[in-house]
């Protein structure tokens, strides 16, 4: 049986950003952007993948696409027991990097007049929920999505241990937004809505419930029709609720000095703050569709997610839209949002000036033998991207 306290510590370690700041659910937006000393760049990406595996990462997949680069590769294994080789088409839960999908669906419905993001959440949610959330009468749907609502994060200290205990004790049942929300109810607010920025996964749980209310069914159906099919994300599905669409690879984390497979836990979690199981190519498609100048999506929709006049300040170097971070790095406009769960790390970037997408999957997290080579790999890859500036 996995030790709950060790599991909690591993969860917190697993979401440490490897490359840019503020990559996932409990990330630190004040962390270093480009690490120093600067690694020596190498253009042989397949060799870099293999080096990460040789250094301790079980498996890694990477896709880079730009007018100058078209690379996709994999190294290592997707399963330590069977030694199945990691493949570029393998699917993995992408954690908080999937928040952009939830935000995009909300923005689409906003522009269609099915909802208004600037209405208070009391427009849609029942009093049984609202009465247990401080300041619920004055927070809007947009504030849920840009983390300015002041909501308690259910993955924060004081509630995360109960969440982890619940998912470990009953790993086979599907956990949706309403299940996860119980761990944030009756908790204090961080601040009044609109006063500051504080990353809170709870806001996306509430957004998921609002989507369900508006659509009259669980929002994964609309996400499939409008995003996965509409954007050609043919190898993506909503975690926990569309398991017939694929299967996640194994993910590895350390508990009580033993490396454990966390797949049995994470294949049954279907929440709007981390909704997607996907491939590196599909995650690149999603981010590019939102922020690229050549996007097929209506600009009125995507502007909600990243337009300058809608960004909120995270710190002196970072801003946040809806499900997307923005930074100016080495003179380049960079949009990103990664994710991390015990056993899995996703890195997902778009460099506007180079029209470049970079997506990386690691099937491990939260222990030094994984974290150090994964971080070194990302530092080297980022160095190749920014070496000209």
Total count of residues recorded for the chain: 389
pLDDT at 88 > cutoff 50: yes
- pLDDT for 257 equals 85
Q: Please give the share of the chain, as a percent, with pLDDT higher than 90.
A: 84
Of residues 387 and 183, more confidently modeled: 183
User: Best-predicted range by mean pLDDT among 9-18, 180-189, 252-261?
Assistant: 180-189
What is the distance between the alpha carbons of residues 28 and 24, in angstroms, rounded to a whole number? 9
Domains parsed from the chain with CATH numbers: 4-386 (3.40.710.10)
Cα→Cα distances 233→171, 341, 358, 361, Å? 28, 22, 16, 17
Alpha-helix residue ranges (DSSP H) falling in 246-366:
263-266, 280-291, 299-306
Backbone dihedral angles phi then psi of residue 163, each to the nearest 5 degrees? -60, -50
Alpha-carbon dihedral angle through residues 185, 101, 140, 334, given to the nearest 10 degrees? 110
- pLDDT for 22 equals 40
List pLDDT tens digits, range 190-203: 999 999 999 999 99
pLDDT at 43 > cutoff 80: no
Give the model's confidence band at 387: pLDDT under 50 very low, under 70 low, under 90 confident, else very high: confident
Rounded to two decimals, the pTM is: 0.91
What is the distance between the alpha carbons of residues 184 and 237, in angstroms, rounded to a whole number? 26
Mean of the pLDDT values across residues 129-143? Answer: 98
List pLDDT tens digits, range 320-371: 999 999 999 889 999 999 999 999 999 999 999 999 999 999 999 999 999 9
pLDDT at 4 > cutoff 50: no
What is the DSSP track for 173-210?
Answer: SPB-HHHHHTTTTT---SSSTTS-----THHHHHHHHH
What is the distance between the alpha carbons of residues 100 and 368, in angstroms, rounded to a whole number? 29
Tally Cβ neighbours within 10 Å of residue 293: 7
What is the distance between the alpha carbons of residues 198 and 208, in angstroms, rounded to a whole number? 19
Q: Which two tokens stand for residue 106?
A: 């909300």
Q: Please give the share of the chain, as a percent, with pLDDT higher than 70.
A: 88
Cα→Cα distances 279→89, 94, 137, 283, Å? 6, 9, 39, 6
Burial class from Cβ neighbours inside 10 Å (0-12, 13-18, 19+) for residue 374 reads buried
pLDDT at 37 > cutoff 60: no
Q: Which helix (H) or strand (E) holds 359?
A: strand 356-362
Q: Which two tokens stand for residue 167?
A: 């998912």
List pLDDT tens digits, range 154-170: 999 989 999 999 999 99
């Amino acid at each position: 049986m996995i030790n709950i306290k060790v599991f909690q510590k591993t969860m917190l370690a697993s979401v440490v950003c490897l490359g840019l700041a503020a990559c996932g659910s409990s990330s630190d937006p004040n962390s270093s952007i480009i690490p120093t000393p600067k690694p020596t760049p190498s253009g042989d990406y397949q060799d870099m993948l293999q080096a990460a595996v040789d250094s301790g990462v079980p498996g890694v997949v990477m896709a880079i696409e730009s007018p100058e680069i078209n690379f996709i590769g994999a190294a290592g294994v997707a399963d330590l027991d069977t030694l199945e080789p990691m493949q570029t088409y393998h699917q993995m839960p992408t954690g908080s990097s999937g928040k952009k999908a939830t935000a995009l669906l909300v923005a689409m419905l906003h522009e269609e007049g099915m909802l208004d993001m600037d209405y208070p959440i009391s427009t849609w949610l029942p009093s049984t929920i609202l009465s247990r959330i401080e300041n619920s009468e004055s927070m809007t749907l947009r504030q849920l999505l840009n983390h300015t609502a002041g909501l308690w994060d259910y993955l924060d200290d004081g509630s995360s241990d109960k969440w982890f205990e619940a998912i470990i004790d009953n790993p086979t049942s599907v956990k949706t937004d309403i299940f996860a929300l119980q761990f944030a109810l009756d908790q204090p607010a961080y601040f009044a809505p609109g006063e500051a920025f504080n990353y809170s996964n709870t806001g996306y749980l509430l957004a998921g419930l609002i989507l369900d209310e508006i659509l009259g069914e669980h929002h994964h159906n609309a996400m499939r029709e409008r995003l996965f099919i509409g954007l050609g994300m043919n190898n993506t599905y909503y975690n926990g609720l569309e398991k017939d669409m694929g299967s996640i690879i194994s993910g590895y984390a350390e508990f009580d000095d033993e490396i454990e497979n966390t797949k049995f836990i994470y294949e049954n979690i279907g929440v709007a703050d981390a909704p997607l199981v996907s491939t590196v190519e599909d995650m690149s498609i999603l981010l590019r569709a939102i922020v690229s100048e050549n996007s097929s999506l209506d600009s009125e929709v995507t502007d909600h997610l990243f337009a300058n006049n809608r960004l909120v300040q995270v710190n002196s170097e970072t801003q946040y839209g809806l499900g997307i971070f923005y930074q100016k790095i080495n003179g380049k406009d960079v949009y990103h949002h990664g994710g991390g769960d015990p056993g899995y790390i996703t890195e997902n970037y778009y460099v506007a000036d180079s029209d470049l997408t970079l997506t990386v999957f690691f099937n491990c997290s939260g222990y030094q033998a994984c974290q150090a080579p994964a971080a070194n790999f990302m530092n080297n890859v980022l160095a190749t991207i920014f070496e000209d500036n």
